[in-house]
Chains A and B, each alone.
Chain A
Amino acid sequence: MDFSIDPESRRRLEEARAWGREAMRPAGIEADRMGAPLPVDHAYFKRFVERGGGRTRWAGPDGKAERGPRASVVTTLLLSEELAYWDRGITVADPGPGLPEASVLGLGTEEQKERFLGPFLDLDRPRWACFAMTEPGAGSDAAAIQTQARRDGDGWILNGAKCFIGGASRADWILVQATVDPTKGRGGQRSFFVEQGTPGLGDFKIEKKMGLKAYESTSFRLEDCRVPAENLLGGEPRHEQKAGFKRAMATFNAGRPVIAANAVGIGRAALDEALAFAREHELLGRDRIRDRLEAMTRKLRMARLLCLRAGQLADAERPNVVEASTSKAMAATVGMEAATLGMELIGLVGVRGDHLIEKLYRDVKAMDIVEGTGQIQRMIVARSLVQLPR
């Protein structure tokens, strides 16, 4: 049994900590005060790219692009927690191929990798890509999406509306999830690359949010938006492989523990701020306050361990569906509790609206919503534990 962190992960954590303290948190606070995402030409993004961020993991057309070893899921979780500690909104705002990259690497044709990930090999400027699944009428129930894809000669016509899509208006391309047959649920769905500027892609609206203001959550419409056949992820012949890939992915999950780790990071930031406040105001001698801080510390530690356990299983390619959902359900709740305790500890200072804990309190709520709500996570666990019918 070993709970230690390896030296390389520790080094990366130190780097993340330094960057977080120096750049991420100030940028996150700036966006929060501004009430809007950081603009694409913000100096933060330029620096992010200059220090090597925002690149693809794809090794390039000849397989020779210099890439360090891919981080383990456990290391990714530790980094996710640390970065979210400094500013979770900024971690999402950071340039790069983002969420769809794994799908392109796993399912895309070589041509698609070159065309869509190629520009992320050697960045000339900050670039973004994004994945669009959520719709006004389909959140957790992804099988219910209504955006339609209709074959039209050598291309596809897309029609529908997407919402809450991170970075859509600034993305070079959006990987849009659409259905060719709504009666088939997930089985009828396909993913399409839609490049910025494609006729029919528009009506971008950056939503006003309670928290996590540093990145844009955007709604947009697709109206008779025509994309060529080669924009279908993986191409038609590869759909059987895609199904196989998805089946494999269903047994271990790395996405939910990442959000869980984010929640732990935000909660930990709230805890540290609350502790600092308690120290400054000599509150730690009060049993009631110390006990509540202890409970929070304990629960955050537990949530972290649950994340790491799920990550460790994913690294070993062992089934982790229960552990991943458990980590997500627990960490999101605990993160919220930590920020709530922080607010109660600082009292009216928090209500004033300019304290970091107040921002964290608004930010952390989303962690119980994105990547499946706590209720969805319980349904997933219950399917395993008691075969809860779908």
Chain B
Amino acid sequence: MDPSDELLVLVETTRQFANEELLPAIREAEQARGPGVGARAAFEQIGLSRLELPESLDGAGLGAVARVLVNEELAAADPGAAWALDPLGGAFPVLAALGDAALERFGLPRLDASQGRVALAWAPECALTIEGERVDGSVAYVPCEAPDLLALLAPDSVMLVADGITAEPVRGAGLRAAGGSQLRLEGASVAARVKGSAAAKAVARVRLQTAALLLGVMRHACEFSRAYALEREAFGKPIAHHQALAFLITDMQMALDGARLLVHEAAWRLDAGLSCVGEAASAFAQCIEAQRLIGPSGVQILGGHGFMADYPMEKAMREARALALLVGGFDAAVECAGQELTRTETPLGLELAS
């Protein structure tokens, strides 16, 4: 279950980048609605934008496991910035499912320019009318500044909309470093679409990369609040040594560790070509459950300080909540995993990894 040496190097490099370029500037990035120029340049320079792109297209050709490991590291510093730094806005799985032509037309130019304005949205949750190739309606929120390309996801189809998009900036509850927009689509047209298992797999991949961002935010909340609880004293001892808080910190860590294993296993299954749609949905759902505990608890451990913007716990709570509502959030993930469950006689019958 340990990452390979190659992946460990990738993790270490990403962690260093996140700690040096993102972490010191989290409030500035929120304010600026995007990471700084230096962070963008460094991100591009270490090749993180082309992680999953096939080697034939000058990418690293890595898979879902690499993606989830990288995303956790980035989000442990700043999930909004992590989202914004990706020139494809997390839409690589959609472009890959649509095929080489879509990837070359919509993906490569953005990657070559190291900048993209691609938004992802969960179609069933949007007020959209899709008739044939025409799309009208609105999308309440996307974590993207003024997108010019929209990837719409649904349980059994993914599609790209490349025109007819009007974006209005919104403040965003979380992920402010990614920017944020409300979209109107008038006479927009579907530029590419794919249905069936390829679409389901793309959705699984997007769920996993989002789940990994949640892991990063939760890890940060666990580590920061734990360190605080060891320094802060009340009633003559560190607050971490009061059993009520010691157990809360323990429960937070256990929730994180369990959720992480589900994400890693689902990502490994995806890379190994095993069934992964239900597993990815389950992993995302479990991350969402975990953040319900960890996000608010991180604030709680810091007490009044947790509520103030001087400390990053309020941000972690907001970020986690926002991430957990993307890609259809908990209900869509549970619905997907539940549907997969009904097709199986013995869902955990130690066929694991067969």
Question: B-contacting residues of A (Cβ < 8 Å)?
Answer: 1-5, 10, 13, 17, 78, 81-82, 268, 271-272, 275, 284, 287, 290-291, 293-295, 297-306, 308-309, 312, 322-323, 326, 329-330, 378-379, 381-382, 385-389
B259 interface residue, CB < 8 Å from A? yes
CB neighbors of A among B1-17 (8 A): 1-4, 7
Query: Per a CB cutoff under 8 Å, which of A78, A294, A378 touches B282?
Result: A294
B91 interface residue, CB < 8 Å from A? no
Q: Are A294 and B258 touching (Cβ within 8 A)?
A: no
Q: Are A302 and B261 touching (Cβ within 8 A)?
A: yes
Given contacts A3-B353, A386-B240, 18 further A-B contacts (CB under 8 A): A1-B1, A3-B265, A4-B354, A81-B350, A271-B347, A275-B347, A293-B341, A295-B285, A295-B334, A298-B285, A309-B1, A326-B253, A381-B254, A382-B250, A386-B249, A387-B240, A387-B241, A388-B241
Q: Are A302 and B1 touching (Cβ within 8 A)?
A: no
B346 interface residue, CB < 8 Å from A? yes
Residues of A within 8 Å of B259, CB to CB, are 302
Residues of B within 8 Å of A275, CB to CB, are 341, 345-347
- Give CA–CA (A295, B262) in the complex, Å: 13
CB neighbors of A among B316-354 (8 A): 334-335, 337-338, 341-342, 345-350, 352-354
- Give CA–CA (A100, B230) in the complex, Å: 39
- Give CA–CA (A299, B287) in the complex, Å: 11
A297-B253 contact in complex given A1-B264, A389-B241, C-beta closer than 8 Å: no
Residues of B within 8 Å of A293, CB to CB, are 338, 341
Interface string of B269-292 (1 = CB under 8 A from A): 100100000010010011000000
Q: List 5 A-B contacts (CB under 8 A).
A: A1-B65, A272-B349, A301-B279, A302-B286, A309-B261
CB-nearest residue of chain B relative to A318?
Answer: B2
A308-B1 contact in complex given A5-B352, A5-B354, A297-B282, C-beta closer than 8 Å: yes
Query: Per a CB cutoff under 8 Å, which of A1, A291, A329 touches B254?
Result: A329
Q: Are B350 and A1 touching (Cβ within 8 A)?
A: no
Interface string of B221-254 (1 = CB under 8 A from A): 0000010011000000010110100110111011
CB-nearest residue of chain B relative to A17?
Answer: B350
B133 interface residue, CB < 8 Å from A? no
Task: Give 8 nearest A-B pairs by CB, closest first.
Answer: A386-B240, A305-B261, A382-B246, A4-B353, A294-B338, A298-B282, A290-B338, A302-B258
Query: Per a CB cutoff under 8 Å, which of A17, A304, A386 touches B246?
Result: A386
A380: min CB distance to chain B, Å: 9
Q: Are A3 and B258 touching (Cβ within 8 A)?
A: no
Residues of B within 8 Å of A389, CB to CB, are 241
Q: Are A1 and B2 touching (Cβ within 8 A)?
A: yes
CB neighbors of A among B51-110 (8 A): 65
Residues of B within 8 Å of A388, CB to CB, are 240-241, 243, 246
B330: min CB distance to chain A, Å: 10
Residues of A within 8 Å of B307, CB to CB, are none
- Give CA–CA (A385, B225) in the complex, Å: 12
Q: Are A381 and B338 touching (Cβ within 8 A)?
A: no
B112 interface residue, CB < 8 Å from A? no
Residues of B within 8 Å of A13, CB to CB, are 350
CB-nearest residue of chain A relative to B262?
Answer: A302
- Give CA–CA (A378, B245) in the complex, Å: 11
Question: A-contacting residues of B (Cβ < 8 Å)?
Answer: 1-4, 7, 65, 226, 229-230, 238, 240-241, 243, 246-247, 249-251, 253-254, 257-259, 261-262, 264-265, 267-269, 272, 279, 282, 285-286, 334-335, 337-338, 341-342, 345-350, 352-354
Q: Are A294 and B337 touching (Cβ within 8 A)?
A: yes
- Give CA–CA (A308, B2) in the complex, Å: 12
Q: Are A5 and B347 touching (Cβ within 8 A)?
A: no
- Give CA–CA (A8, B42) in the complex, Å: 47
B354: min CB distance to chain A, Å: 7
Residues of B within 8 Å of A326, CB to CB, are 253-254, 257-258
Query: Per a CB cutoff under 8 Å, which of B65, B229, B253, B348 touches A301?
Result: B348
A386-B353 contact in complex given A293-B338, A295-B334, A312-B1, C-beta closer than 8 Å: no
CB-nearest residue of chain B relative to A331?
Answer: B258
Residues of B within 8 Å of A386, CB to CB, are 226, 229-230, 238, 240-241, 246, 249
Q: Are A3 and B352 touching (Cβ within 8 A)?
A: yes
- Give CA–CA (A126, B31) in the complex, Å: 74
Query: Per a CB cutoff under 8 Å, which of A78, A290, A297, A329 touches B347?
Result: A297
CB-nearest residue of chain A relative to B238?
Answer: A386
B278: min CB distance to chain A, Å: 9
Among B250, B347, B352, B354, chain A packs the most CB atoms within 10 A around the CB of B250
Residues of B within 8 Å of A379, CB to CB, are 243, 246
- Give CA–CA (A290, B247) in the complex, Å: 31
- Give CA–CA (A117, B342) in the complex, Å: 49
CB-nearest residue of chain A relative to B330?
Answer: A291
- Give CA–CA (A78, B348) in the complex, Å: 12
Residues of B within 8 Å of A329, CB to CB, are 254
A390: min CB distance to chain B, Å: 11
Residues of A within 8 Å of B246, CB to CB, are 378-379, 382, 385-386, 388
CB-nearest residue of chain B relative to A334?
Answer: B258
Q: Are A284 and B254 touching (Cβ within 8 A)?
A: no
Q: Are A378 and B250 touching (Cβ within 8 A)?
A: yes
Q: Are B348 and A5 touching (Cβ within 8 A)?
A: no
Residues of A within 8 Å of B286, CB to CB, are 298-299, 302
B250: min CB distance to chain A, Å: 5
- Give CA–CA (A82, B352) in the complex, Å: 13
- Give CA–CA (A284, B229) in the complex, Å: 45
Query: Per a CB cutoff under 8 Å, which of B1, B334, B337 touches A2?
Result: B1
Among A291, A294, A323, A389, chain B packs the most CB atoms within 10 A around the CB of A294
Query: Per a CB cutoff under 8 Å, which of A1, A2, A271, A312 touches B348?
Result: A271
Residues of A within 8 Å of B352, CB to CB, are 3, 5, 301, 304
B271: min CB distance to chain A, Å: 8
